[in-house]
């Protein structure tokens, strides 16, 4: 291959890798200026210039009667997914010089270069009489004039067309960035309605972008802290329907449920599945003491993991299941600790000013997200698993309850506004602290599912 052509082939990847390098520099950067203490020298990366990669995704080609609307909608969702990541910028169709009228026709690369489209996504869709839809796509590096990877084809029910769009966007995202996908995933949350002093709450589930919302429970009892199982088939949560907080396990497909344990005189809450899906870790209050316990879902065997007289709650497993991070006030203030999954001696990992809570381990295993309260403000932050490298990603009247995307690059959380008319909204932010955006209004307590299967 001529040297000039080879350089063109690498141009788009170099640009994207440069963009990702800036993001990764933010992730690996020392503590930001607001966290620097005791005269320690810190380097702060202040508002680096990240230029999203321009791409084009023309309306997919409708290859059968009745596929026209799907062709438009599929391309629209793919564009929204990629642009919503903050790493890509969709070029308006008004700027297109040529159109894609046949999936197999040669691409006129000069027309796409002229509008500076560095990536081009082409697709086609057809429907059948039995409510099935076939979606196929290709990804091109415009300046190298090459196809990136092989084309893919998805087949399924017409009701699942949005999932197919997310799958296309995931494939494009992963091929260009080298990161794992996350668009084809769901979020379970608490849907809220009514005035702030009499809020009605029920469990809801939606696509990661807020679409396809469904309800899993009614609003007859307060529900809190839903959490997906490792394979996304179950949700564990806390309900006050008996008058006391108790933990329930709900099957997402059948919406059937059962109480985890029913022991008179106790309160159980803050549950979370172990990575193996066969155990649950949670907090149990007996009398005035709150400790962390582990329960085997098959045998019912319960193991007490902490024995401190302090309040210890919000446990979260490491991805390999060997450690648990949790919050405790055993030091006098609310802080974060890590202990072996079998219990035993715990190590404090949070040492900044303020109080720390709701820790959750990244699916990549490299970071722990948390809620921090300091000087009247709430923050969502991340730190390494040993407590170093603390970075605050948000700040507001009330931000809390982070949850990780399946690829460990985006965090969703609850933001509540002040005042008697205040409401809760789900927001997301990437781990560089950029791309903050609202996802779902009148909602709280999100939990991100793994990638759908």
Summarised one tens digit per residue, pLDDT across range 46-55 is 445 568 999 9
In CATH terms, the fold of domain 53-177 is Rossmann fold (3.40.50)
Residue 345 banded pLDDT, cuts 50, 70, 90: very high
Q: What percent of the chain clears pLDDT 70, i.e. is strictly above it?
A: 88
Q: What integer pLDDT is reported at residue 49 of this predicted model?
A: 58
d(CA 436, CA 412): 10
Mean pLDDT of 395-416: 97
Mean pLDDT of the chain: 88
Q: What integer pLDDT is reported at residue 375 of this predicted model?
A: 93
Q: Who wins on pLDDT, 119 or 45?
A: 119
332 close to 322: Cβ distance less than 8 angstroms: no
Phi, psi of 213 (to 5 degrees): -75, 135
Q: Who wins on pLDDT, 26 or 331?
A: 331
73 close to 61: Cβ distance less than 8 angstroms: no
The CATH number of the structural domain formed by 186-451 is: 2.120.10.30
Q: What integer pLDDT is reported at residue 267 of this predicted model?
A: 85
Q: What integer pLDDT is reported at residue 40 of this predicted model?
A: 30
Q: What integer pLDDT is reported at residue 9 of this predicted model?
A: 42
Q: What integer pLDDT is reported at residue 48 of this predicted model?
A: 52
Q: Count CA within 13 A, CB hemisphere, residue 202.
A: 12
Q: What integer pLDDT is reported at residue 85 of this predicted model?
A: 95
Which tokens is 141 given?
Answer: 């590096």
CATH code 2.120.10.30 region(s) in the chain: 186-451
CATH code 3.40.50.10070 region(s) in the chain: 53-177
Mean pLDDT of 35-63: 65
d(CA 300, CA 285): 18
d(CA 81, CA 327): 34
Residue 172 banded pLDDT, cuts 50, 70, 90: very high
Rounded to the nearest 5 percent, the helix, strand and coil shares of the chain are: 15, 40, 45
Give the residue carrying structure tokens 């796409």. 112
Query: How many CB atoms sit inside 10 A of residue 102's CB?
Result: 10
Q: What integer pLDDT is reported at residue 31 of this predicted model?
A: 35
Q: What integer pLDDT is reported at residue 37 of this predicted model?
A: 42
Mean pLDDT of 161-185: 96
Mean pLDDT of 382-391: 97
Mean pLDDT of 27-35: 38
Phi, psi of 426 (to 5 degrees): -85, 130
Q: What integer pLDDT is reported at residue 326 of this predicted model?
A: 98
Burial 138-160 (b: 16+ CB within 10 A, else e): bbbbbbbeeebeeeeebeeeeeb
Q: What integer pLDDT is reported at residue 22 of this predicted model?
A: 38
Beta pairing partners, 414: 400, 426
Mean pLDDT of 130-152: 94
pLDDT higher than threshold 50 for residue 195: yes
Q: What integer pLDDT is reported at residue 264 of this predicted model?
A: 64
Sign of CA dihedral 366, 372, 375, 377: positive
Q: What are the pLDDT digits (tens) for 266-300?
A: 788 999 999 999 999 999 998 888 999 999 999 98
168 close to 123: Cβ distance less than 8 angstroms: yes
389 close to 369: Cβ distance less than 8 angstroms: no
Q: How far is CA 446 from CA 374, 398, 405, 424, 440, in A?
A: 23, 15, 11, 11, 10
């Amino acid at each position: 291959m001529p040297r000039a052509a080879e350089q063109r082939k690498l141009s788009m990847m170099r640009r994207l890798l440069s963009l990702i390098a800036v993001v990764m520099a933010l992730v690996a950067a020392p503590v930001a200026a607001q966290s620097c203490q005791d005269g320690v020298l810190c380097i702060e990366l202040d508002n680096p210039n990240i230029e999203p990669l321009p791409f084009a995704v023309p309306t997919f080609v409708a290859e059968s009667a009745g596929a026209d609307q799907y062709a438009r909608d599929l391309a629209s969702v793919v564009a929204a997914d990629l642009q919503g990541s903050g790493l890509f910028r969709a070029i308006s169709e008004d700027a297109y010089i040529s159109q894609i009228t046949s999936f197999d026709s040669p691409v006129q690369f000069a027309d796409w270069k002229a509008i500076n489209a560095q990536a081009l996504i082409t697709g086609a869709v057809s429907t059948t009489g039995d409510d099935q839809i076939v979606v196929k796509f290709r990804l091109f590096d415009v300046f190298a004039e090459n196809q990136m990877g092989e084309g893919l084809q998805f087949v399924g029910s017409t009701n699942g067309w949005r999932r197919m769009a997310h799958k296309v966007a995931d494939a494009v995202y992963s091929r260009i960035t080298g990161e794992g996908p996350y668009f084809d995933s769901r979020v379970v949350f608490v849907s809220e309605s009514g005035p702030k002093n009499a809020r009605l709450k029920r469990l809801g589930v939606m696509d990661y972008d807020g679409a396809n919302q469904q309800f899993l429970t009614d609003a007859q009892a307060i529900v809190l802290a839903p959490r997906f199982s490792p394979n996304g088939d179950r949700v564990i949560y806390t309900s006050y329907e008996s008058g006391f907080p108790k933990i329930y396990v709900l099957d997402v497909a059948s919406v059937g449920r059962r109480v985890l344990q029913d022991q008179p005189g106790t309160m159980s809450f803050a549950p979370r599945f172990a990575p193996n899906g066969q155990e649950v870790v949670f907090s149990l209050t007996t009398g005035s003491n709150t400790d962390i316990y582990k329960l085997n879902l098959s045998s019912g065997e319960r193991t007490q993991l902490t024995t401190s007289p302090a309040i210890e709650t919000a446990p979260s497993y490491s991805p390999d299941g060997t450690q648990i991070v949790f919050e405790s006030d055993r030091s006098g203030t609310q802080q974060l600790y890590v202990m072996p999954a079998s219990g035993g001696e715990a190590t404090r990992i949070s040492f900044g000013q303020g109080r720390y809570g709701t820790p959750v381990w990244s699916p990549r295993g490299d970071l722990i997200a948390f809620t921090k309260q300091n000087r009247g403000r709430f923050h969502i932050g991340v730190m390494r698993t040993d407590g170093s490298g603390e970075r605050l990603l948000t700040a507001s009247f009330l931000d809390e309850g982070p949850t990780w995307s399946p690829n460990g690059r985006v965090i969703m959380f609850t933001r509540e506004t002040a005042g008697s008319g205040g409401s809760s909204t789900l927001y997301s932010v990437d781990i560089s602290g950029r791309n903050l955006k609202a996802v779902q209004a009148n909602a709280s307590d999100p939990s991100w599912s793994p990638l759908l299967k």
